[in-house]
Structure formats: C-alpha cells, structure tokens
Structure 1
Amino acid sequence: MDKQKRLRKIFEILRAYPDGVNGEVISRQVGVSSRTIRSDIKMLEKMIKKYAVTIKSAPRKGYFMKCEHPFLADKFIKDSMISNPTVAQSSGKPEEIIICHLLLNDYMDTTVTQTCLADEQYISLSALKLYFNKCKYIFNKYNLKIVHYKKDGVRISGEEGQIRNCIFDYADKNKDFAEKIFSSIDMISIDEVISKVLREQKMQIPDIDKASLCIHVAIAVSRSKYGKNIYYPISIVKKIDQTFEYDVAKDILEYLYTVLGIDISYNEVYYVTQCLLTSKKFFNTATSMENLEAKKIVHAILKKIKDELLIDFMDDKYLIDGLVLHLNIAINRIQFHMNIRNELLETIKNDYPLAFQMGVIAGQVVKVINKITVNENEIGYIALHFGAALSRKGIAEKRCLSKKIIIACAAGLSIAVLLKAKIKEYFQERLDILDVMPAYSVTAKTLEKVDYIFTTVPIDSIKSNKIITINNILQTEDINKIEKIVFDNKSINKAYLQEFLHPQNFFVDKEFANRDECIQFLTENAIHKGLMSEKTKASVYERETVSSTAIGNMVAVPHPIYNDMKVSFISVLLLNNPIQWDEFLVQVVFLLSIKKGDNKLWETIFLKLNDYIRSKNGVESMLKNKSYDMFLQEFSSMF
C-alpha cells in the first residue's frame, strides 16, 4: 500500500473511533509497523491542518481527531480522492465494512475473495483474518456463517429471516450500506403508507417502532425483487392468520401495490405481520391467556432470583406488570426469530451488572419453560426492569422540601422508569419528580410548574436555563451536571480486599490460545483450592454462552450465573499476548466469584474494576508491573 493510501486509511480509522484508538490497533488495520504509523500521523497532521482538523493523543485514549466543522473533514476525503477515485468510499470499522459487503453480495448470490476485501480497505491479508474472526462471531449471533464457495471466494449462508435481521441492524449502523440497498426505494412513501394504515386501523405504536417497521418493509421489498423470499411453516401461518396484526399487514401490502405499484410476494404479509406482533403497543393487546402464561413465567423468574440471589421482588407490582407486558412481546420476537437492537447494551452490562445478572437468570428461566433462547439484547431490556426495581428497594420514603422536576424522554417506558428510579435513588428527597412525559409534550406552561426539566433529547422549541439534557441511563457525568446546575454545589478497604484477592490467585506471563483455555485454567485452579465447585464452574461457561463477558479495553470478567459456594474470591490472569475473546481482544482476565447473597459486594467490585480499567489506565499498569502488590494498592485506592 502506498503512502497516500495509508494516510487516507489512517484518517478513516480515526473518524471511526471518535473516542480514541491505540497506535497498535491502527498499525494492525493498515498492515505496517507502529513506527511507520507515528511517522504517517505526523505527515497527516500537516495535510489536514488547513481543514481545521487536528490529531491529538492521550495516554489512555491513544490517537483521536478533533474537527471544528465535520463538512471540512468530508472535503479532505473528497480532495484526497481526486488522485485515486477508486478508493473505497465505505465508512465504518473494518469488520462492519466486511459484513456489509457480504450482505450486499447475498442479494446477487455473488462471492468475493479475501484478497479483494483486503485491497478494498488497504489492509494486509493477515490483518483481514483478525477482522474475519470478529465477523464470524457477529454473524454467529444471527445463526449465519461465512462459507467458502468452491474456489470463487466467500459468501454468507443462513436462513432468510436471519439474513434480514442482520441487514436491518447494519442498515441502521452504516449509512453507506443503507443507501445502497434502499437506493431504488421511496422510504418516505412507504412511511406515509404505514402511517395511513395504522391510523385507519386505530393501531398505535411508538415512533421508534414505526421507523423500524418502515425499514423492515423496505427490506421485504428489496429482498423480494431479487427472489429472496421468506417462507413460514403452516403452524406459524395458522397462528398469524388469527391476529389483528395480520389484517393490518394485509392493508399495508395492498396500499403498497395500489398506491406505489410495488408488487411483492404474498408471503411478505406474514413477515410484516410478525414485525407488527413484535412491536411495542401503547395498549396491551395480549389475550388473558397470554397474560396468564406470562405471569407464571414472571413468578418463576422472581422465585429463581429470590432463591439464587436472596433478593425478594415477589410483591413488587410495578416490576411484575412491567415484565408481563415485556415478555408477551419479547417471547413473540424470539419465536419469530426477530432481533431487537439494544443500543444501551454495553452501558447496561458495564454500569448495571447486578440488574444484568438478573436479566441473565430471567433468560435462563424462559429458556427452560418456553424452550427458546433469549439473546443478550433481550436480556439487556429485561435488566432495565430489574434496575428500576433495585432502585425502588433502595429509595428512602422520607420526603422534604426539594426541587420540583419533570423528566422528558423519547425512549421506551422501561428506560424512562429506570431513569426515574435512578434519579430518585441518587438524589432522594432533594428532587421531587412530578411527572415523566414525552419530550414533544413539554410547553412553556410546563416550565412554569417546575424548577427544572431533565430531558434525554434536545427540546429545540423552547429555550430555557431550566432545561437540562441528560443521558437515557443516568451516568456519572449526568450526576455531576445536576449537582453543579441544580444544587451549585469507603466501605471496602485494602485489608478487606485481601480476604478474597489472594496473591496465589494472581497469575502472570501465561500463554493461552483462546477464551475456553483461560476459563479452564482459572476454574480448575479454583476447584483445586476448594474455592469453586464443578457446578459453579459449569455456570461460568453457561454465563459466557448467554453473553460475552469481554468488556473492552483488553479485559474480560467471567463469572458464574449461580454460585453454590460460601466463599468469595477473585482470580487474575495476565497473558503474554492478547487472544480473541468473542469480538474483543483480551489480555487481562478477572474470574469474579462472589458468594451467594452478597450482591452488594458483587456489584461494587465489578463497577470498581470497570472504573479502574477505564479511568485509571489499569490494564497498562498491570501488564507493565505484573505485580500483585501494585495491583492491590492501586485497586484498593478506588474505594
């Protein structure tokens, strides 16, 4: 790859990682040494200076780009393309571009060689293989495979429904991909047809779900054009035929034909119906029988959580009602193999570990009762309900004179409930939450009734210092902002940590090839020392199959779903070289095993580990020092 191509590639990588990217990551993607990357970045800095774009570096973030005006960055790309117009225009991470390429090829039943994929992104074949591992892991979530087709190259293989799920997710992630597959489709007209039918049928669904339905219909149209039809067994067809949503779907396809002239296979009416069945409704359309079945499942979930975690939610009516409504829709989604995006998944896993653990347990109960596998995106949404329930348990009942606020939200009910509960949990009597409402309902009169409005989306129609924008899920930056604007203004020590963080469980300079070898080594060592049983070891592997415990920053935190031991411990493993752990590279592994019922300790340790890794440069320190004493000193200072 010549220098001009390398510089363009480095620029695209920096744009794809706005929070920063390590020089080693860039060197692997470009296929040159770190030294060459440093030299190229210096040259690139000079080239982009006139476009008001700068490249910064920080110890914990790596290289990151600052751009005063995004359109100038686009202009740099266009200017740099003049000398080589064949340069790939796709944006995004390398594995994302590969996935989109393979999905596009599936429309035409064509293959692509790995050499072509590498040349398209100006990376070496060895670098491509690393990204292929990530692609295989991602495709596996959809039950899709990358297969070699004779000697012509590679393509994807799997069921049409799962291919559509993957297309749906990546159409949302990658604008270039969406523009290509929908280039001949009038999305505005499709949206108008859907809105008209929903009004006529008096069916109300959230805006987010309506937008998703529009994309699903567009996918049905685009796939049908290429003969990529979806078929349903008679057992599913009989079930769908009896639903109200089936009539709505028929009307949508009828309007597409009569108004827009779009003539597609009648099988697509079942596809559109399943999309409607798996949408959230503003009213509960479940039958009394479905609600009864869902209540039985919820009761089993809460009993399992009570037995395993010693936390009793059996009398929490808000939680029970919320889970019943959620499971009625979620089980339909899973049975119809409809994926749901959960953009908050990583935040939930990293910031609400105990709630996510409860979601995992709930998923296992559903799996036993309904014989279906609950994916991690669904588990994340179930965890939101438990996050709110945990917050309610910790809220003091006393109230006193406080600031009156309203929460304005654009997300779903479960997220709004969790946000409200977390705000109440942290600020308690200092804030009086009068209401939670959609952002579009906020008016000037609303402002007159309160001291502040906390909103998760910009409210452009009203300008006021009373409006404070926060995240969908309350984070540290939000708390600091509220403290500063509204109010103007260690329970675990080193000795206690040493009780379950022993030097003999601190392993350095180890060589393992994969995730399972790491877990096998740590769990067998724990069993040998009487810290873990075979049952708990099996639960560690079971937890890993539900959702990866790799959390980024070269770290994984494997742990059991269920623990039958009466002792807590942490084992630490430092590898000489990083390994592929699902979609992440991992070099530091923490096996976290906290005894049954000690949930506060479990969540505290997990959150502090996460903080140590992300904000205190913990991984770099551990790999550099390889010292138990140094780690204990640094980690204990977090409390």
Structure 2
Amino acid sequence: MSKLMYQRLDDILDILIKQSYPVAMTELTNAFSVSDRTIRTDITNLNDALKNVGASVSLLRGEGYVLNILNEKTFTSWRNDSITSSMPTLTSLQERQTFLLYLLFKEAAPLSLEDFLERLFVSKNTFYSYLKSLRTLLAPYGLKIINRPNIGFELVGNELAKRQAISDLLIVKDLQEYLVGFTETELSLFDNINLELLKKIQLAYFEPLGLLDSDYYHKNILSHFALALSRITDGKRLTDFPVEVFTLKKEANVLMERFFTEIEDAFQVILSNEEKEYFIYHLSINAPRLVEMEQNSNPSNPAAKEIVSELLQAIKNASNFDWRTDKLLIQDLTSHIEGFINANLMDASRRNPLLETIKKSFPLAYDLCLMPLKNIGLEHGLTFSEDEVGYISLHIAGAIERSAYNKYRKQRVILICGTGRAMSRIIEAKINKHYQEKIEILHRLSFIEVQQHDLSEVDFVITTVPLEQLKMPHIYINMRQLDKDINKVGAFIEKMALKTATVFDLFHETCFFHSPNVQTKEALLKMMTQVLESQGIVSHDFYESVCRRETISQTNINQTLAIPHPMSLKAQQSRVAVAILPSGIDWGNGENVHFVFLFAIKKEDYEETGDIYSILLDFIHQKESQKKILHSNKYATFIEEMKKMN
C-alpha cells in the first residue's frame, strides 16, 4: 500500500534512499516508463510530502537527483512509521480534514467525538475547527453535519449530492495515478466491491462503443460506476434522480441493458430505474457522442471540424505554431469538440478536476487555447469554460511535445553534385559514414534539378557546386579536397543547431529587478513594463494588455512563480523581464509569489522560445537555486542558477 500520494512516489523515495550517488533522470524515466516531465512533477510532489519530515530532494546539475536528510531523527521516525503503519499519514491540516470527510462518508454508523479525536490525533478545539471548515465545504451540495446526542456526528442530505461530493472532494483526479489504476482513496472508498471484476466487465462492453480512446473519460465513468455500486452495496440507494437523462443511441442502449444485467448478476444487486439513470447520465457526460440528439439539432461533426480549423488557424496567426495539417491532432480535437458540442446541447457542463494541474504543467498550451476559444465560442454560440479549455489544452500540449521531439530529429539535407550520379553516391556514402546519426540525405540532385525542387522541407544543402546565390543554409564542399571538406560538415551541423538564440538570451541585466520598491502586483507590472517600453521592446499599450490577461485568469503557476504576459504577441523584440521579491507580493487569491517573469515575445520567435516554459517548470522544483537567487541581488547569480535547469 502506498504511504505517499501514490505508489510511484514511494518507489522513487526507496531508490533515492538506497543509492549513495545521484540518480539520473534517465534512470528514473526508464525505471517507471514515464516522461521527464512526469518525473519532475513526481519530485515536486515528493518534496511537498517530505517538507515536514526532515528531508528534501534536490537536483545536482549534470548528475541527477539526491535525497538530502536535513533532520535524521525526524526523517527516520517518519520512515519507520511509514513502513509499519497502515494508517494514513496525516501530516497536514488538509490531510486531516480530508480524512475526517472520508470517515463521515464511509462509516456505516455515526461516530462519537471520542472516535474522531482518537483517529485524527487532534484536540477537541482543533476537531471543531475542522468541522466548521467542512460544513462550509459541503454547503454547496446541500449536505449538513449534525451531532445527534448520545449517537454521534452524521452527514445528512440527498444521496445524489453525497455521491457528487465524494467524487469532487475525495477522489483526487491527478495526471498519474488516477489514469492508470485505482487510487488509494478509491481502494478505500470502494473496498466492499470487486473493482477488478467491475473493470473487466466494463472493458468488455465499452470497447465495442469506442470508449477506450480517452483514459481520463473512461476512468471517470469507471469511478462513478464503482461509487454507485459501493453505495448500493452499503444500502445507500438513490430514491430519485432529478436530472434529465438523454436517450442513448441504439447500439449503446442495447449494450447498456446487457451491461446492467451482468452487473446485477456479478455483484448480486438490483439496479433501480434511478440507479440506471445515474449510470447512463455519467456515461453520457463523459461520452456525449453516444447520445441520440434530436432530429432538428445542429449536426455536431461539421461544426466541430469548423471549430478545430478556426482554432488551429488562430494559433498559427498568434504564435507561428502551424498544426493545420497535423492529422493526428485534427482527428483528436474534432472528436473532443464534437463531444463538447453534444454536452452543450444536453446542457451538461464537464468539470475538469485536472484544471490547475494543466495550467501549471502546460501553461504554453493553455495560453494558446484560452483567447482563441473565447472568440470562437462567441461566433458559434458556445461557451468554452476554463474547464473545457483545459481539456483542449491537453491535445495542444501533445502537439507541442511532438514539435519539441522534432527539434531533435535528424537534419534533412539535399546533396547537390554536378558530376553525375556515381560521384554523388560516393560523396553520400562518405557523408553518411561520419554523420548518419545527425543528418538524413533526402535527395541527390544536379544543379539544374535543384532549381525545380521544393526546398521547403529541407534544413540545409550540401553542395559541390558554388552557390553564392542560394538563399537557404548551405555548405560548399570542394571536390579537390573532398575528405578534408567533408570533415567541415560536422562543424556546420553544430552551427545549424545553435543558429537560433538560446532561451537564456531572453534575459538581460537591464530588465532584472531584485527587491523592487513596489507594494502591489499592478505597480510591479507597471514598473517592469515601463522599462521594456523605454528600451523599445514593447509599445505603450503593453501594460494594459498584460492587466487584461490577468483579469481573465491569474498567471501565477503556483505560490512561488508567476508568468504574466499580454493578450497577444505584440513585442518588437523578445525579452523576459524578471523581478525577484524576497518578501513576496500578493498575486491575488491570497497567493504570494516571489519570482515574476514578464513575457514580451515576438510572434516570429514564439515557437523557438517555447523551451522557456520547461525551464521555469524545472525552476519551480529547485528550492536551493531559488534560495540563492532570493539572497543575492546579482544578475550573474540569477543567470548561473537558471542555466542549471534541465
């Protein structure tokens, strides 16, 4: 059983404890078959879990991750408790409140005050403070916590509301554990039913309906079905279902009737009409394409295709990311948008529990979608909520990852040789002997042929014919010193790789502010913007655009770092202004940030500077680097620490 948030954190911690040397990122990604980004997120979560138990994980530049034991006694005590105890780790107020909520939902009979105090290890006053917070949390669901004399505390209210509260407040739908299996919370909540049997039956019936293409939606359905069966098994049934349930398409309806029959036999339960409606409702919300829409409803597929086309064109216009011919992305987005349109027709919104994670993990993708979808929604009479923007951002994040991968592909080359095919094959063989891991020779052409050839997909040209007039990157090889000049190709390849400015060139000492004398977020942004404007980097309306973007959605990634930026790419030059605030500054909603990176990026540079987001996401994890930058007002220290990021 996982002691930490999910099992992989326990496993990573075990590796770090056992190794006496830094553990490389590749070693961790290979061990768990996940991406670098996932491991970085894991390390952040692990540090959150370790911050109160005398330990932390840090990254040594060029070496890997190490576990730092800051308090041997505290950490050892916690670790021993972790190994021997099956009780949940209640190291924070949030964890104790969540456990209290779990007990209120899960226990068959009311619990006394003494029961709660014993399980939570808190005082009476602390317990009542938790109770007050939970009552506020449950109020929107119409649920109340009452204390019956001589009986105990009990959660009362509508069963449907209780199920919604359990789903929203207890089942943490993160990007890792939730998607690949049942979370620890789910295993505890649903311990009275056979989850693997339910999963097996569901897979058998849902595969013919094409519901396995999205892990997230499939898991949502499975989780709600498990919740219903668990509650029914405990005798907590729905007595009414006051929500409109739409008719499923014929094939889906037939399969669901068979599904209900098998579920009743397998779990020895009887599903009332209300319970069946609960199942169908959550199936419809997560797979709207299975719903039979009215004859006079607007067909969703043509509209979905149009919206996808408009979105990709808007992203191209705003950023130069061009995915208008990306068949995989277009197919996935069209399917998703079609489901979204159907959900709108059903007047059913889809809550996105992953929204904050998406904003923090994929800020570039989220921003690329936010304003275009708002405008597209107005044109089509649809409302793309932040939740829906988050879902769509995941598709764009995938395209960005593929674009990043393509940066590291072989460079595509054309070989121009004017002395015939035999010689061109010899030259090709010599080049491949040295550089086949770095370049791919697409064609061997004569000078006449190259004039008729489309060079749009070519990175550079290797030519034995002097071509001073050729406007694209090229390197000349003198046939008289063939072997010597072929050796120069390596240097040219490296030059091509470094042709674009590095992301660190976005920073400049004149736009670096340590401990600025400002008291508000607005004053800080105004001061930073004025400096950018005085240098001719941005125009006079830049500040107004940055403030408007903040009103739509705050740009702080967490309570440490914010990345404000304008509504559109309107800089004359690309620059990232930086403010370091040791005492922090209120960014709204009670969040006090210490690092502010104000983005001023030219449209033409947007794709090439995308790596800045990855660097800042790495920076969030690096507490030691943050401390050094906060304690030093030198620009050189800032740059030195930033260059340590992966």
Sort the TM-score into its range (normalised by shorter chain).
Answer: 0.5 to 0.7
Structure 1 residues 126 and 377: CA distance shift in structure 2, 3 A: farther
Give the 3-state SS of the residue equivalent to 1:398 in structure 2.
strand
Other-structure match for 2:561: 555
Cα RMSD over matched residues?
A: 5.9
Structure 1 residues 636 and 125: CA distance shift in structure 2, 3 A: farther
What amino acid maps onto 2:565 in structure 1? H
- The counterpart of 2:324, out of the listed 311, 314, 330, is 314
Distance 2:256 2:87 in 1: 39
Distance 1:119 1:223 in 2: 23
Other-structure match for 2:632: 625
2:239 matched to 1:226? no
CA displacement, residues 394-453 of structure 1 (integer Å, 9 cap, x when unaligned): 6678389xxxxxxxxxxxxxxxxxxxxxxxxxx875799xxxxxxxxxxxxxxxxxxxxx
Structure 1 residues 327 and 343: CA distance shift in structure 2, 3 A: same
2:100 matched to 1:101? yes
What amino acid maps onto 1:190 in structure 2? L
- The counterpart of 1:181, out of the listed 179, 184, 189, is 189
- The counterpart of 1:607, out of the listed 602, 614, 618, is 614
TM-score, reference length from structure 1: 0.58
* Deviation of the 1:536 alpha carbon: 3.1
Distance 2:318 2:329 in 1: 18
Other-structure match for 2:168: 166
* Deviation of the 1:365 alpha carbon: 4.8
Structure 1 residues 240 and 494: CA distance shift in structure 2, 3 A: closer
Distance 1:290 1:217 in 2: 27
Distance 1:363 1:188 in 2: 39
Q: Equivalent pairs: percent with the same residue?
A: 14
* Deviation of the 1:311 alpha carbon: 3.7
- The counterpart of 2:548, out of the listed 538, 541, 551, is 538
Q: For the Cα contact (< 8 Å) 2:584–2:592, is it kept in 1?
A: no
* Deviation of the 1:309 alpha carbon: 2.0
Structure 1 residues 146 and 289: CA distance shift in structure 2, 3 A: closer
Q: For the Cα contact (< 8 Å) 2:562–2:593, is it kept in 1?
A: yes
Distance 1:578 1:522 in 2: 9
Question: What pairs up with 1:504-519 in 2 under 5 angstroms?
Answer: 505-508=513-516, 518=521
Question: What pairs up with 1:432-443 in 2 under 5 angstroms?
Answer: none
2:134 matched to 1:120? no
Distance 1:203 1:117 in 2: 48
CA displacement, residues 586-628 of structure 1 (integer Å, 9 cap, x when unaligned): 4323233324443045423333344455459331111111344
Q: For the Cα contact (< 8 Å) 1:555–1:586, is it kept in 2?
A: yes
Question: What pairs up with 1:13-162 in 2 under 5 angstroms?
Answer: 18=13, 63=68, 77=82, 88-89=87-88, 95-96=94-95, 98-106=97-105, 120=120, 162=164
Other-structure match for 1:371: 383
Distance 2:405 2:57 in 1: 42
What amino acid maps onto 2:624 in structure 1? N
TM-score, reference length from structure 2: 0.57
Other-structure match for 1:261: 268
* Deviation of the 1:250 alpha carbon: 3.2
Distance 2:643 2:440 in 1: 31
Give the 3-state SS of the residue equivalent to 1:205 in structure 2.
coil
Distance 1:293 1:573 in 2: 46
Aligned residues: 491
Other-structure match for 1:381: 394
2:406 matched to 1:398? no
Structure 1 residues 591 and 101: CA distance shift in structure 2, 3 A: farther
What amino acid maps onto 1:181 in structure 2? L
Other-structure match for 1:456: none
Ranges in structure 1 where 5+ consecutive residues have no aligned partner: 1-7, 30-36, 42-54, 66-71, 82-86, 401-426, 433-489, 512-516
Give the 3-state SS of the residue equivalent to 1:550 in structure 2.
coil
Distance 1:123 1:25 in 2: 25
* Deviation of the 1:22 alpha carbon: 12
Structure 1 residues 90 and 506: CA distance shift in structure 2, 3 A: closer
Q: For the Cα contact (< 8 Å) 1:187–1:214, is it kept in 2?
A: no
Ranges in structure 2 where 5+ consecutive residues have no aligned partner: 14-41, 61-65, 71-76, 415-436, 443-497
Other-structure match for 1:190: 198
Question: What pairs up with 1:267-278 in 2 under 5 angstroms?
Answer: 267-277=274-284
Other-structure match for 1:465: none
* Deviation of the 1:136 alpha carbon: 12
Give the 3-state SS of the residue equivalent to 2:597 in structure 1.
strand
Q: For the Cα contact (< 8 Å) 2:96–2:120, is it kept in 1?
A: no
Q: For the Cα contact (< 8 Å) 2:360–2:557, is it kept in 1?
A: no
Give the 3-state SS of the residue equivalent to 2:577 in structure 1.
strand
Structure 1 residues 197 and 576: CA distance shift in structure 2, 3 A: closer
What amino acid maps onto 2:187 in structure 1? E
Distance 1:112 1:565 in 2: 63
Other-structure match for 1:404: none
Distance 1:178 1:373 in 2: 28
What amino acid maps onto 2:368 in structure 1? M
Q: For the Cα contact (< 8 Å) 2:580–2:595, is it kept in 1?
A: yes
Q: For the Cα contact (< 8 Å) 2:615–2:645, is it kept in 1?
A: yes
Other-structure match for 1:240: 247
Distance 2:517 2:45 in 1: 22
What amino acid maps onto 1:105 in structure 2? L
Give the 3-state SS of the residue equivalent to 1:533 in structure 2.
helix
Q: For the Cα contact (< 8 Å) 2:503–2:612, is it kept in 1?
A: no
Other-structure match for 1:52: none
- The counterpart of 2:308, out of the listed 298, 302, 319, is 298
Other-structure match for 1:250: 257
Q: For the Cα contact (< 8 Å) 2:529–2:543, is it kept in 1?
A: yes
Question: What pairs up with 1:276-355 in 2 under 5 angstroms?
Answer: 276-277=283-284, 289-329=299-339, 336-339=348-351, 350=361, 353-355=363-365
Structure 1 residues 580 and 534: CA distance shift in structure 2, 3 A: closer
Deviates more, 1:190-199 or 1:288-297: 190-199
What amino acid maps onto 1:624 in structure 2? H
- The counterpart of 1:570, out of the listed 569, 577, 590, is 577
CA displacement, residues 93-147 of structure 1 (integer Å, 9 cap, x when unaligned): 763553353255246798999x9689826699899999x99x999x89xx96899
What amino acid maps onto 2:385 in structure 1? T
Give the 3-state SS of the residue equivalent to 1:574 in structure 2.
strand
Q: For the Cα contact (< 8 Å) 1:497–1:636, is it kept in 2?
A: no
Distance 2:258 2:612 in 1: 54
Q: For the Cα contact (< 8 Å) 2:43–2:621, is it kept in 1?
A: no
Distance 2:292 2:93 in 1: 42
Give the 3-state SS of the residue equivalent to 2:610 in structure 1.
helix
* Deviation of the 1:196 alpha carbon: 5.0
Q: For the Cα contact (< 8 Å) 2:312–2:324, is it kept in 1?
A: yes
* Deviation of the 1:564 alpha carbon: 4.0
Q: For the Cα contact (< 8 Å) 1:300–1:365, is it kept in 2?
A: no
Larger Rg: 2
